[in-house]
Amino acid sequence: METSFFKNNRERFFELMEDRSIAVFFAGEAPQSSGDQQHPFVPNRNFYYLSGITEPKIVLLLTKFEGKKEARLFVERPNPVMAKWIGESLTKEEAAEASGIEAANVSYLDEFHGFLQSLLLSLPYEHVYLDLEKRAWNAPSTPAGRFAHGIKKRYPYLQLHNAYHAICDMRLIKTKEEIETIREAGRITVEGIKHVLRHAKPGMKEYEYEAYFDFVLKSNGVKHHAFHTIAAGGKNATVLHYERNDQTVRDGELLLLDLGAQVDLYNADISYTFPVNGKFTERQKTIYNIVLKALREVTALIKPGVPFSDLQEHTKKVLAEECQKIGLIKTPEELSKYYFHGVSHSLGLDTHDVGRLRDQKLAPGMVLTVEPGLYIEEEGIGVRIEDDVVVTEDGCEVLTTGLPRTVEEIEAFMAEARSGQ
């Protein structure tokens, strides 16, 4: 991402701030896993969106007073001993370069509280904005949460605001650069799925398929998955978030993949279903084609002004009609036995991206998944097909192109891969 992206995001947030206000955002830290090991560090996404920084502990401070707007960063002071063990921490110059905040406005973390105190003593600030995201009553405390307590105790006259929802709403509409980054994550994900298809044969373990996908990600310099890969053979595919991936996929079974690469913290999310022996049975073909029909019809529906909820309604309509035609269900209500999730979610810095899409109408720049499915446990058939799309001025564009999608295309692709082996 260009620094102009983060600068622009800060500008937009400044616009939302009251005058005489400060805003503080925290990168966060990796939680402990076991012993002296830590989970991999995942930067707070709203912090990243405003700062461009992907290192832990760093603090972003925005101040707005009588029209004067200023952004400051606080980074770790260089520590020669730690540098020998884990490498250098982010320098002031590097922080300035990544964020677009001038180096003169980058200080050390141990100076943060002193700086804040003199700031609040020198001018009559009235408001504090913090990202107080809260997902559960008992969720572990966050740096912003702890900071909020400190502020309330020491500066009780300051009015506290939660910036979380405003930033999430900003993130809902993607810039061209964000869209291109998701497209790149999609391209690598597509390449990974094709690599799996080329090596598929009955009798392989689910994790072996996963390994072929992972190889392509690493080969492309991708460090992180968008989420835990689902590689579910046969009946396992009827469990929505199956992640064990340790069973054998037998001749005649379908494999359902749901996976994605992450590029510059932006995610792709594709579901793909295919027969491991390269040939659909008649029944599998019938079910697959119903789901594909839903995918295509719902994708064609996407354009600005369409209520997000229409996508789910139309998916249910297509699936119910087709399932009634083949006698799988008798009434539309019975569909819930075989289809029981949403057809779409926002996609971006988070795989299930933030922003209140549910009650909104689609608008240009939104990036969404389209992922209808049918899960028939008693037949050991689970099919989900998923693309990522961006809403354009007059419709939508699929970002995850280049995969064999029809029954004929998949069978031909796999037959060709086999003949070359």
Q: Which is nearer to Mn ion, 125 or 274 (CB)?
A: 274
Choose the stretch contacting Mn ion; rule: CB under 5 A; options: 56-64, 158-166, 222-230, 362-370.
362-370
Q: What is the DSSP letter of 175?
A: P
Q: Which of residues 226-255 bind Mn ion (CB under 5 A)?
A: none
Check binding of 369 to Mn ion (CB under 5 A): yes
Minimum CB separation of residue 384 from Mn ion in Å reads 9
Measured CA to CA, the distance from residue 266 to residue 353 in angstroms comes to 10
Number of residues that bind Mn ion (CB under 5 A): 2
Residue with tokens 């469990």, as numbered in its chain: 239
Beta strands in 139-292 (DSSP E): 159-162, 224-225, 230-233, 254-259, 261-263, 266-267, 270-275
Choose the stretch contacting Mn ion; rule: CB under 5 A; options: 205-213, 246-254, 263-271, 409-417.
263-271
- Other C-beta atoms within 10 Å of 159: how many? 12
Q: Which of residues 18-77 bind Mn ion (CB under 5 A)?
A: none
Contact with Mn ion (CB under 5 A) among 269, 322, 350, 387: 269
Choose the stretch contacting Mn ion; rule: CB under 5 A; options: 9-17, 262-270, 333-341, 356-364.
262-270
Q: Which two structure tokens, joined as six digits, stand for 197? A: 């298809």
Minimum CB separation of residue 401 from Mn ion in Å reads 17
Minimum CB separation of residue 269 from Mn ion in Å reads 4
Q: Which is nearer to Mn ion, 52 or 373 (CB)?
A: 373
CA nearest to 189, candidates 417, 411, 403, 405: 403
Residue 256: strand, helix, or coil: strand
DSSP H stretches of helix in 238-307: 282-301
Measured CA to CA, the distance from residue 169 to residue 178 in angstroms comes to 15
Contact (CB, 8 A) for 292 and 405 = yes
Choose the stretch contacting Mn ion; rule: CB under 5 A; options: 59-67, 284-292, 307-315, 368-376.
368-376
Q: Which two structure tokens, joined as six digits, stand for 60? A: 């972003």
Choose the stretch contacting Mn ion; rule: CB under 5 A; options: 56-64, 138-146, 218-226, 366-374.
366-374
Minimum CB separation of residue 241 from Mn ion in Å reads 11
Contacts with Mn ion, 194-213, as mask; x by CB under 5 A:
--------------------
Q: Which is nearer to Mn ion, 253 or 269 (CB)?
A: 269
Residue 43: strand, helix, or coil: coil
Q: Which is nearer to Mn ion, 187 or 345 (CB)?
A: 345
Contact (CB, 8 A) for 148 and 160 = yes
Q: Which residues bind Mn ion (CB under 5 A)?
A: 269, 369
